[in-house]
Chains A and B, each alone.
Chain A
């Protein structure tokens, strides 16, 4: 690596465009929000920065803390489901024969190329009362009824099929997050499982460990960095989501993202919104620090 002094002109030409862009259009706006969190509204649009802590005090009131906690729970649940669903998928893709592997990988990546809004919208037709999931359940119900009725057990299923309310509630939000962010979980898992030394799995099996024991004692510890990355990649966007909860959630599905959005748009309480954004940001940093710690701990031991 060269010292920047060896070719200062080249160095500045390489560094300045991106560096200035980051400074001007990323760090400065972020700093402005940080400052505004200490401001007070002095009129319909004016905000005076008085270095008050009132906005943070308000943001830490039970109503907003409850929202943070709820967002955390929903994001954690969705992340856990993504991990449960995604791990076998990543395992199957990384152990697939060379011929089909690129195809399977492509199938995992392809949903990335669809707009987030379109993917969320496509969930509505699946989940609504007259949606495809309910149509499928009704089909199963009719089939089960036809089998059970001659046995005199038809009453078990009730008079007629009652569609489930799947849309406009918290379940729909979790469902939507899993749908949108599942590829984010599969890809890092795949990346570590792909590089994993297979002779270790073979050794474990040869030495008499069962497949299940091998999975938990060998595969999971070796795939640990991928698991941690996947969790972070799903959890952080899930924590700050507002589109998914806005379109798929019900009146009680407001997440912290929705509240922040409202402060900046409709409610026009920018100082409070700024304080809430920074609390969300601090939570993100906490999650990232936790990742660094978790990843370090595991590799340190292994």
Chain B
């Protein structure tokens, strides 16, 4: 405590009062709306403006709302498939760009960076045009109707995975790979027993990012969902346009909780490796 009371040193920016207040105000700004949203999902009032008492009625309503549950299931399926495929595609592409020299490499690198930087709406409309032209928008039975959304999500997620995995590859000692091959391991065995274990934290981080991007996305989903396909963001969007009700809050809260849980699980999976790396 005595140490705390001493005057802040010149570089102790974090101990300056105004900076602390600034930090607190920013976090209040970032979190208060979400906290209010969660709290008011338990509010016993249709208009949901002032607090009228605790209820879980709107959760029951949300669960009983078949189209909401369907939308929810769809979004989770999309996120699951997109994460799986994005992780594989991104990791492979990162390995290709890291290991090989080939003509046209800058073009591939540029094409990989493009989905990360261009406005989402441009990508959204282009996917809409593409899928309409090949007749994939509407008129197909579930779950194939989710294909355009899944393809779109993979297209904007796996470049991020590639970037994350490639950053991890920069720290790889190639003599390990050579040693493995000198000892008679095949390409596949080297990949399986040398590269992938080393890359695991990067792959997990990339997968986590891909999952987050998929669950977080509204724009691409909005443009790639056909008229009969509802996913969670689309459903919430139409509910919000209809009016802000506690039911929307309840449904949003469930998605927030699911995303947070998945994040915590993914981070747990990542943690032991990180410690091993430091040693």
Residue of B with least CB distance to A15: B96
In the docked arrangement, what's the CA distance between A28 and B90, Å? 19
Interface residue SS majority, chain A = helix
In the docked arrangement, what's the CA distance between A22 and B112, Å? 7
Assess A114 versus B118: contact at CB under 8 Å? Given A88-B22, A202-B10, A270-B129. Answer: no
The residues of B that contact A3 with a CB separation of less than 8 Å are 100-102
Please tell me if B176 contacts chain A, counting CB pairs below 8 Å: no
Extra 18 A-B pairs, beta carbons < 8 Å, given A2-B99, A281-B118: A1-B100, A3-B102, A18-B162, A25-B155, A33-B126, A88-B19, A88-B22, A91-B13, A112-B216, A115-B232, A115-B255, A119-B34, A183-B30, A236-B117, A243-B219, A247-B241, A264-B128, A288-B117
B30 partner, pick from A182, A205, A274, beta carbons under 8 A: A182
A261 partner, pick from B121, B152, B240, beta carbons under 8 A: B121
Q: Give A residues with C-beta under 8 Å from B.
A: 1-4, 7, 9-11, 13-15, 17-19, 21-23, 25-30, 32-33, 36, 85, 88-89, 91-93, 95-97, 100, 104, 107-108, 111-119, 121-126, 130, 132, 179, 182-183, 198, 201-202, 205, 211, 232, 236-237, 239-243, 247, 257, 260-261, 264, 270, 273-274, 277-278, 280-281, 284, 288
Assess A18 versus B96: contact at CB under 8 Å? Given A92-B13, A182-B30, A240-B120. Answer: yes
- The reply to whether B216 and A114 form a contact with Cβ atoms under 8 Å apart is yes
Q: Give B residues with C-beta under 8 Å from A.
A: 10-14, 19-20, 22-23, 26-27, 29-34, 36-37, 40, 48-49, 88-90, 92-93, 95-96, 98-102, 108, 111-112, 114-115, 117-123, 125-130, 133, 151-152, 154-155, 158-159, 162, 187, 212, 215-219, 222-223, 232-233, 236-237, 240-241, 244, 248, 252, 255-256, 259-260, 263
The residues of B that contact A202 with a CB separation of less than 8 Å are 10-11
In the docked arrangement, what's the CA distance between A142 and B192, Å? 68
- The reply to whether A13 and B120 form a contact with Cβ atoms under 8 Å apart is no
- The reply to whether A22 and B90 form a contact with Cβ atoms under 8 Å apart is no
B92 partner, pick from A13, A108, A247, beta carbons under 8 A: A13
- The reply to whether A114 and B259 form a contact with Cβ atoms under 8 Å apart is yes
The residues of A that contact B151 with a CB separation of less than 8 Å are 25
Assess A30 versus B90: contact at CB under 8 Å? Given A117-B233, A118-B256, A121-B236. Answer: no
- The reply to whether A111 and B30 form a contact with Cβ atoms under 8 Å apart is yes
Assess A29 versus B252: contact at CB under 8 Å? Given A179-B29, A211-B10. Answer: no
The residues of A that contact B222 with a CB separation of less than 8 Å are 243
The residues of B that contact A264 with a CB separation of less than 8 Å are 125, 128-129, 223
A2 partner, pick from B101, B126, B154, B217, beta carbons under 8 A: B101
- The reply to whether A113 and B129 form a contact with Cβ atoms under 8 Å apart is no
B233: shortest Cβ distance to chain A, in Å? 5
A214: shortest Cβ distance to chain B, in Å? 9
The residues of A that contact B31 with a CB separation of less than 8 Å are 107, 111
7 tightest A-B CB contacts, nearest first: A240-B119, A18-B93, A14-B96, A29-B130, A29-B126, A122-B33, A4-B102
A222: shortest Cβ distance to chain B, in Å? 14
